[in-house]
Structure 1
Amino acid sequence: MDTEQSITGKGISQIVYNKFFTNFITYLIIINAVLIGLETYPSLYEPNKDIFFILDWIILAIFAIELLLKLYVERSKFFKSAWNNFDFVIIVGSIILYNTPFVSVLRIFRVLRILRTITFFPSLRRIVQALFLAIPTIGSVLILMTIIFYVYAIIGTAFFSNINPEYFGNLQLSTITLFQIFTLESWASGIFRPLFKEEPWSWLYFVSFIVVATFIMINLIVGEIVNNAQKITDEVEKETQDIKDDTSEIKELKAEVQELKILLKTFIAQKEEK
Structure 2
Amino acid sequence: MPNSIQLKQIVDSTRFNHLITTLILINAIFIGLETFPSIYQPYQQLFFAIDIVILAIFTIEVILKLIVYRFSFFQNNWNIFDFIIVFGSLILYNTPYVSVLRIFRVLRIFRTITTVPSLRRIVTALFMAIPTISSVLLIMGIIFYVYAILGTSFYADIAPEHFGDIFLSLVTLFQIFTLESWASGIYRPIFEQAPLSWIYFITFIVITTFIMINLIVGEIVNNAQKITDEIEDETEDIKQDTSEITELRKEMREIKQLLEEKDRSS
Tell me if TM exceeds 0.5: yes
Name which of 228, 234, 237 aligns with 1:242: 237
What value does the CA root-mean-square deviation take over the aligned residues? 2.8
What's the counterpart of residue 97 of structure 2?
102
Q: For residues 140 and 241 of structure 1, do their structure 2 counterparts lie closer, same or farther at Cα, with a shift above 3 Å needed?
A: same
Aligned to 2:189: 194
Q: Aligned residue for 1:139?
A: 134
Deviation at 1:181, TM superposition (A): 0.4
Name the residue aligned to 1:26: 21
| Shift in Å, 1:56 | 2.4
Show the counterpart of 2:122.
127
Alignment partner, residue 161 of structure 1? 156
Match of 2:54 among 47, 59, 64: 59
Answer whether contact 1:36 1:108 (CA < 8 A) is retained.
no
Calculate the TM-score normalised by the size of structure 2: 0.85
How far the C-alpha of 1:39 sits from its partner, in A, is 0.6
Q: Report the count of equivalent residues.
A: 266
The code of the aligned residue for 1:25 comes to I
Letter in 2 for 1:112: L
Which of the pair has more CA radius of gyration?
Answer: 1
Alpha-carbon distance in structure 1 between the residues aligned to 2:236 and 2:76:
30
Residue of structure 2 equivalent to 1:256:
251
Post-superposition shift, 1:164? Answer: 0.7
Give the match's secondary structure for 2:43: helix
Q: Give the partner amino acid of 2:240.
A: D
SS in 2 for 1:200: coil
**C-alpha displacement at 1:252, in angstroms?**
2.9
Unpaired segments ≥5 residues, structure 1: none
Distance change in 2, residues 1:197/1:140 (3 Å): same
Deviations 1:122-144 (A, max 9, x none): 22121111111111110110011
Matches of 2:4 and 2:240 in 1, distance apart? 36
CA contact (8 A) 2:88 2:104 kept: no
Kindly indicate whether the alpha-carbon contact (under 8 Å) linking 1:32 and 1:111 is maintained by their aligned counterparts in 2.
no
Aligned equivalent of 1:152: 147
Letter in 1 for 2:33: L
- Give secondary structure in 2 for the equivalent of 1:174: helix
Preserved CA contact (<8 Å) 2:20 2:115:
no
| Stretch of structure 1 that moved more, 104-113 or 187-196 | 104-113
Per the alignment, in what secondary structure is the counterpart of residue 178 of structure 1?
A: helix
Query: Relative to 1, partners in 2 of residues 1:11 and 1:137: Cα closer, same or farther, differing over 3 Å?
Result: same
- Cα distance in 2 for partners of 1:238, 1:76 equals 27
Tell me, in whole angstroms, the C-alpha distance in 2 between the residues paired with 1:235 and 1:142. Answer: 28
The 5-angstrom pairing of residues 72-91 of structure 1 reads: 83=78, 86-91=81-86
- TM-score w.r.t. structure 1 length? 0.83
Cα distance in 2 for partners of 1:12, 1:160 equals 69
Q: Distance in 2 between matches of 1:160 and 1:229?
A: 43
Match of 2:211 in 1: 216
TM-superposed deviation, 1:46: 1.6
Q: Which residue among 186, 196, 200 is the counterpart of 1:205?
A: 200
Match of 1:49 in 2: 44
Q: Distance in 1 between matches of 2:18 and 2:184?
A: 51
Partner of 1:35: 30
**Structure 2: stretches of 5+ with no match in the other structure:** none
SS for the counterpart of 1:47 is: coil
Identity over aligned pairs, percent: 64
Segment of structure 1 superposing worse, 83-92 or 128-137: 83-92
